[in-house]
Amino acid sequence: MDDQSLSGVADRNHTIAGETDDPATPDDKPGHECGVFGIVAADADVARLTFFGLYALQHRGQESAGIAVSNGRSIRYYKNMGLVAQVFDEEKLRPLSGYMAIGHTRYSTTGSSKLENAQPFVVESALGPLAVGHNGNLTNAASLRRELLQRGVGLTSSSDSEVITQMLAGGEGRTWEEKLKVFMVRAQGAYCLTVLTRDALYAVRDPWGLHPLCLGQLGEQGWVVASESCALGTIGAEFVREIEPGEILKITLDGPQVIARQPSLHTAACLFEYIYFARPDSMLHGKVLHAMRVAQGRELAREAPCDADVVIAVPDSATPAAIGYAQESGIPYSEGLIKNRYIGRTFIQPDDRLRKLGIALKFNALTDNLAGKRVVLVDDSIVRGNTSGPIVRLLREAGAREVHVRVSSPPIRHPCFLGVDMATYPELIAHRLTIEGIRQHLGADSLAYLSLEGLIRSTGRDPATFCTGCFTGQYPVEIEVVDKEVFEVR
């Protein structure tokens, strides 16, 4: 490869077959988002550090992964379908030499799961090579995409992230800083960006602060940006601060420099980061998420008490809330379900007999902890309702005398258009049924959700600082409702 020019690898023949959950029983959780990572560090293997940073962010997206590295002259990159550890090995990392890098792990929100939509997007421009990683979803992507096509810009994917990349590459402005400022004026919706140029790394967060982005320091002169603080600790970096809503941060070997701040009149942080998405050891607004999720369980126990013998969680994401429920209620906490953490990524699809077993592929019940017991089953959310019912049946088959379902978030009645694959209106069980109707559908003895007020109370933050769109249908920005795969070539 010519080291003086843009160069990269994207293996279009290699895909990972059968690496999603059984399509007959899709996971009853909101789809994840994406994870972005960036690093500037002299005398460090930045590609390897980015690999481990993405590994820590794997929970945010499992469809594809990619890394782009700059050596001050050119950008080299590699991306492919699959988990971080499936995409990269020593052979793939070895050519990625330099002192600045960005990485991305994807869950599709706009554009389907295929290699053309994998990130980072890398292009050549009048100002030199450009690589972009994006977490979020532009709500005006359709109109921005039309403008690019009318200008004669060729697009190779169906992702709004490529729209962002081309807006920056060919947009107004004589410098990258000017182009980023123009982009922020034009863009609507959710975006956390890591932008890699020949000689700088930029971190950009939308003015509403919809999704998290933080800054860390690595040693004396190394700097890191990541979707979550958990990725900093994985590579030995120290958390410095959150990147502010509306902030453009430029990072070079000289350190970070604030280029601009363009905040909106109010912030609108995604509540599902607090409920489910972010790892429990990550920090948001100065608090560790595990503690806030325990607080959600305490609020739930106060709002929806229950006469029962044991509290169990739907593992693993609901465990902190179940602990909080047990602490507040005085009912003992125990494990009732053991999760097979790998079945969702199997290469082999189940046959018809296994398909009918449904949830048994993912969970096994601990009969000794359940037999003859009145059980409180705590979950963090119910989206479609297609796994909660089988779990209730599994508990009864294990001998539970009663099953009382408690959910540490409000009913999800509306889709998300801001970076979360939340399902459509017809798929959302709380949009179609009343709470009593959902209880009957699940076969539970009782069902209760945490109120929106209780959820926000558990965060300790001002209610006006959150996006509540999936609960209330009220979004912080104007929404252009489009299908996830609207830009696919049919």
Q: Which residues are catalytic?
A: 34
Q: Give the pairing of strands 247-252 and 446-449.
A: unpaired
From the list 191, 160, 46, 67, the residue with the least C-alpha distance to 120 is 67
Query: Is 416 part of any known ligand binding site?
Result: yes
Query: 239 in helix, strand or coil?
Result: strand
H or E segment and range at residue 204: strand 201-205
CB atoms within 10 A of CB 292: 23
- What would you measure as the largest C-alpha separation in the chain, in angstroms? 72
The answer on whether 21 is annotated among ligand-binding residues is: no
Question: CA quadruple 277, 468, 269, 105: dihedral positive or negative?
Answer: positive
Beta bridge partners of 337: 365
Q: How far is CA 61 from the centre of its chain?
A: 6
Which helix (H) or strand (E) segment holds residue 339: the answer is: strand 337-339
CA separation for the pair 319, 323 (Å, rounded): 6
143 in a labelled binding site? no
Determine whether 15 is exposed, middle or buried from the number of CB atoms within 10 Å of its CB (0-12, 13-18, 19+): middle
Lay out the sheet containing 374-379: strands in order across: 310-313, 374-379, 402-407, 446-449
Task: Report the DSSP pairing between strands 269-270 and 466-467.
Answer: parallel
**Burial letters 221-244, b for 16+ CB under 10 A, else e:** ebbbbbbbbbbbbbbebebbebbb
Q: Where are the alpha helices (DSSP H) in 358-483?
A: 367-370, 388-397, 429-432, 435-442, 452-459, 469-472
Between the alpha carbon of residue 143 and those of residues 116, 149, 187, the distances in Å are: 21, 10, 10
Q: Which amino acid is at 261?
A: R
Q: Say how far apart CA 31 and CA 480 lie, in whole Å.
A: 20
Query: Per the structure block, which two tokens stand in for 19?
Result: 């690496």
Q: By the 8 A CB rule, do 483 and 142 touch?
A: no
Task: Give Cα 415 distance to the centre of its chain.
Answer: 15
Q: Quick one: angle between helices 452-459 and 289-303, nearest 10?
A: 140
Was 192 annotated as part of a binding site? no
Task: Judge whether 467 is annotated as a binding position.
Answer: yes
3-state secondary structure of 121: strand
Q: Token digits for 254?
A: 């000289």
Known binding residues: 270, 317, 379-380, 416, 467, 470
Known binding residues for Mg(2+): 317, 379-380
Known binding residues for [4Fe-4S] cluster: 270, 416, 467, 470
